[in-house]
Amino acid sequence: MFPKLDPLLHSELRLAVMSILASVDNAEFSYIKKQTGATSGNLSVQLDKLSAAGYISVEKGFKGKVPCTTCKITPAGLTAFENYVNSLKEYLI
């Protein structure tokens, strides 16, 4: 029997965001947007979903006078991401 895949991470954009955040300390919204090719609106919605699940933390602030949103994966998010990747491997083997 195959393991269940986390439906929250089984979205292309949310999985991409988690992949990015798993490999860095934190990332700004503009960087994630550029790397994923997502629209600002869609990315915002997906970040809200990941944040509500406790998978990422989102900090809003300013760089000078320009708004800046920074995202960071949480320990729970890293565990969920690692579990998802390990489950996917079972499908491939």
Q: E strands, the chain, where?
A: 27-28, 56-63, 66-73
> How do beta strands 27-28 and 66-73 pair?
antiparallel
Specify whether the CB–CB gap between 15 and 85 falls below 8 A: no
Output the pLDDT for position 1: 84
Domains of the chain: 12-92 (1.10.10.10)
Q: What is the pLDDT along the chain (93 residues), one digit of tens a residue?
A: 899 999 999 999 999 999 999 999 999 999 999 999 999 999 999 999 999 999 999 999 999 999 999 999 999 999 999 999 999 999 987
Output the pLDDT for position 93: 77
62 vs 27, 34, 47, CA distance in Å?
Answer: 14, 19, 18
Token pair, residue 33, equals 């947007």
Output the pLDDT for position 60: 96
